[in-house]
Structure formats: C-alpha cells, structure tokens
C-alpha cells in the first residue's frame, strides 16, 4: 500500500483540504467526505464576543477522530504572532501539528523567509510538528528541513490564484534537495494542476480555494481526489521520455504490398 | 472591579474572577477554544486556578475555516 508518512503518522490520502470559503458548513463536510482527505486545515481567530455563543461552529462539522486537524497561522506577519498562534492552536486542539505561515506581503501573500525560518526553529524546538508554507526555493526548503520541520509546503502559485504549477523545475529541485515530504500548497486551480504536482513526485498536495471556489465544490473535491491519485500512480509507474519525433506504436514490418 | 483588555476591548470583571469564571460569564465553552494571558497560553488545567489581574491583556481564540 502506497502511503504518506509525516512525523511517524501514516496517511492513505495524499490530498490535504482547507476548510475556508465554503458556502455552508454542510457543503464543506460533504466536500471533505468526497475528497477522501485525512488532513484538514483550520485557522485560529479571536472569538467574537459581541455575538451570542450558541451558534454552530466549524468543529461541529468535522470529526476530529477521522481527520487530522491541522491549524494554520494564516494572517500572521511576524514570527512572534505565528509562534503565539501556534501555541494557542496546540492548546485548543491538543495537537502539536501546525501549518506554519509567516506572511510577508498582503498583495501576494508570499511568505517572509526570515520570519518563517525563525518561527520554524522556535516551534520545532518546542516539539511542534512544523509544516511550513514556503516559497518554491530549494535553498530555503533545505534550511527549513535543517530547522527541524516535518515537511515543507512550497507554493505552486499565490494563495487562491488558481494559476497552477508555475515552476515545476524548482519543485523538482526541492524534491532532490530535501528528504522530508514535499506537500505542494497554494495556487492549485483544477484537477490537472494537482496531477502535474503529483507526477513530479511531490508527496502530497493541499487545496482550499480550488475546491471551495468551484461552481460545484463537492464534485471538484472528488476530481482533486482522483487527480492526486492518478498523478501519484503515473509518478510511480514512470512516464516515458519526451521526444521530438514520432515512434510508431504498430509494427513497421509485415505491411501488405 | 478589575479592568482587562479582552480581544482588544476594555472590559471589567469582579475581583478574583478566574479564567474559568470569565469564560462562563462570556457564555463560552472551553472546548476548542484557547486563552492567552499577557502573551502566555493559559493551560486548560489552570482555568480554575488562574485569577485575572488588573491590566491583564487576554486573547480568547477558537477555530474557524481556513486553508
């Protein structure tokens, strides 16, 4: 059985799914179900104390026994904010897993490399299982591995952009550079993007907007499930080399005259 | 009374109010929430023994949808 192992935990699905931007909690639950995912990301935010506390909450729709809840530090712009948010998430969820984000720019949501590395070192030192959202930079990924991260999550393209795999060559070099799993994060717009990432040899893929923003998010969740599985199988099967000219599939001898 | 800053807003609580009592007063169940007091996480196990002090800065967070 082909499985993904991160920090000693084994997953059958290589698709991670976000929980943001769905029209309803019910729709999100259905998408998670159909995607086959085992890892779902969540965000940490202040409780709105002006609202009554009796409303439905996200966690009413996700069974924490079935899914690994992976809290993120989205929206944090400093190492300090990200570290504090990770610590709060650990207390709220009872999990040391964190998808670490330290954002450097509001327009592109590109990460702040120095801030990210500093936060990764601190949190890994405190026993967190750190999965950093990072640029598709092989040198940075090696530094994140050295910092004690359990995986790296290089972006395919800006968060929510749907631009797909912008730099397959860098992802390839990252795969040659680090020994920890490489989970493509951000920018996946449709199923073929997911398949491309997996065909490159990436170990997994996280998608949120590509699913939640689709016209039919539940069907797209299923498409992503199939694409990740197909891309992984193609990688394992080993694709043929590309060539400029034709190579006949049918025998060239024995033709009638 | 003591004055604290809670999720960015000034609020008053009775002297001796604990974190557990504060959450109860706010109508918040501690499940899936976390509390930070003066930049340090308050462990769930310490909610009943941690009393708020005048000038405390508190953050009460929970989990929402995200990617």
User: Contact, A193 vs A199, CB < 8 A?
Assistant: no
Distance of CA A106 to the CA centre of its chain: 20
Q: Is position A243 within any domain?
A: no
Q: Is position A71 within any domain?
A: yes
Instruction: Express each pLDDT in B10-23 by its tens digit.
Output: 999 999 999 999 99
Does the domain at residues B2-62 carry the CATH identifier 1.10.645.10? no
Contact A49 B67 (CB under 8 A): no
Residues of B in contact with A28 (CB under 8 A): 65
Q: Is position A107 within any domain?
A: yes
Q: Is position A170 within any domain?
A: yes
Residue in chain B closest to A17 (alpha carbons) equals B67
List the domain boundaries for chain B: 2-62
Please count the residue pairs, one from chain A and one from chain B, whose beta carbons lie less than 8 angstroms apart: 105
Q: Is A99 a catalytic residue?
A: yes
Instruction: Express each pLDDT in B39-49 by its tens digit.
Output: 999 999 999 99
Radius of gyration of chain B (CA): 12
Residue A81 sits in a domain whose CATH number is 3.20.20.70
Burial of residue A95 (number of CB atoms within 10 Å: 0-12, 13-18, 19+):
middle
User: Contact, A14 vs A233, CB < 8 A?
Assistant: no
Contact A58 B41 (CB under 8 A): no
Q: Is position A253 within any domain?
A: no
Q: Is position A251 within any domain?
A: no
Burial of residue A63 (number of CB atoms within 10 Å: 0-12, 13-18, 19+):
exposed
User: Contact, B48 vs B20, CB < 8 A?
Assistant: yes
Residues of A in contact with B64 (CB under 8 A): 20, 42-45, 58
Measured distance CA(A44)–CA(A71) in Å, rounded: 7
pLDDT of A53: 61
Catalytic residue, chosen from A21, A56, A65, A99, is A99
Residue A34: domain span? 4-44+59-237
Residues of A in contact with B66 (CB under 8 A): 18-20, 41-43, 72, 74, 208
β A153-154/A183-185 pair status: unpaired
Which pLDDT tens digits describe chain A residue by residue (257 residues)?
Answer: 899 999 999 999 999 999 999 999 999 999 999 999 999 999 999 998 887 665 788 999 999 999 999 999 999 999 999 999 999 999 999 999 999 999 999 999 999 999 999 999 999 999 999 999 999 999 999 999 999 999 999 999 999 999 999 999 999 999 999 999 999 999 999 999 999 999 999 999 999 999 999 999 999 999 999 999 999 999 999 999 999 999 999 998 999 98
Q: What angle do CA A129, A99, B59 make, to 5 degrees?
A: 100
From the list A46, A69, A208, the residue facing B60 with the nearest CB is A46
Measured distance CA(A41)–CA(A60) in Å, rounded: 15
Q: What angle do CA A231, A237, A239 make, to 5 degrees?
A: 80
Nearest CA to A120 among A97, A139, A147? A147
pLDDT of B18: 96
Q: State how many domains chain A has.
A: 1
Q: Which among A27, A29, A41, A47 is the top mutation candidate for probing chain B, defined by the most B β-carbons within 10 Å of its own β-carbon?
A: A47
pLDDT of A176: 97
Measured distance CA(A173)–CA(A110) in Å, rounded: 20
pLDDT of B32: 83
Measured distance CA(A245)–CA(A108) in Å, rounded: 41
pLDDT of B31: 77
ipTM: 0.94
Q: Is position A211 within any domain?
A: yes
Q: Which residues are paired to B41 by β-bridges? A: B36
Residue A103 DSSP class: B
Closest-CA distance of chain B to residue A249, Å: 45
């Amino acid at each position: 059985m082909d499985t993904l192992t991160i920090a000693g935990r084994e997953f059958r699905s290589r698709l991670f799914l976000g929980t943001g931007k769905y029209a309803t909690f019910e729709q999100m639950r259905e998408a998670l179900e159909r995607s086959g995912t085992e890892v779902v990301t969540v965000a940490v935010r202040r409780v709105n104390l002006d609202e009554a506390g009796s409303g439905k909450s996200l966690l009413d729709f996700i069974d924490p026994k079935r899914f690994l809840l992976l809290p993120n530090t989205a929206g944090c712009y400093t190492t300090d904010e990200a570290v504090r948010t990770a610590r709060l998430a650990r207390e709220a969820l009872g999990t040391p897993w964190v998808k670490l984000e330290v954002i450097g720019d509001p327009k592109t949501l590109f990460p702040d490399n120095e801030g990210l590395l500093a936060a990764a070192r601190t949190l890994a030192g405190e026993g967190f299982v750190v999965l950093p959202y990072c640029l598709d930079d092989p040198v940075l990924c090696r530094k994140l591995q050295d910092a004690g991260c359990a995986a790296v999550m290089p972006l395919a393209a800006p968060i929510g952009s749907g631009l797909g795999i912008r730099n397959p060559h860098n992802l390839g070099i990252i795969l040659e550079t680090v020994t920890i799993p490489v989970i493509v994060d951000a920018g996946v717009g449709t199923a073929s993007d997911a398949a491309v990432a997996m065909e490159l040899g990436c170990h997994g893929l996280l998608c949120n907007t590509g699913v939640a923003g689709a016209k039919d998010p539940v069907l797209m969740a299923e498409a992503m499930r199939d694409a990740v599985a197909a891309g992984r199988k193609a990688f394992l099967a080993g694709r043929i080399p590309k060539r400029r000219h034709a190579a006949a599939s049918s025998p060239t001898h024995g033709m009638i005259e | 009374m003591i004055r604290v800053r809670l999720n960015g807003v000034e609020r008053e609580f009775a002297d001796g109010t604990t974190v557990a009592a504060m959450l109860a007063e706010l109508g918040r169940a501690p499940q899936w929430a976390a509390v930070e007091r003066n930049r340090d996480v308050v462990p769930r196990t310490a909610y009943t023994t941690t009393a708020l002090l005048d000038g405390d800065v508190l953050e009460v967070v929970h989990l929402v949808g995200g990617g």
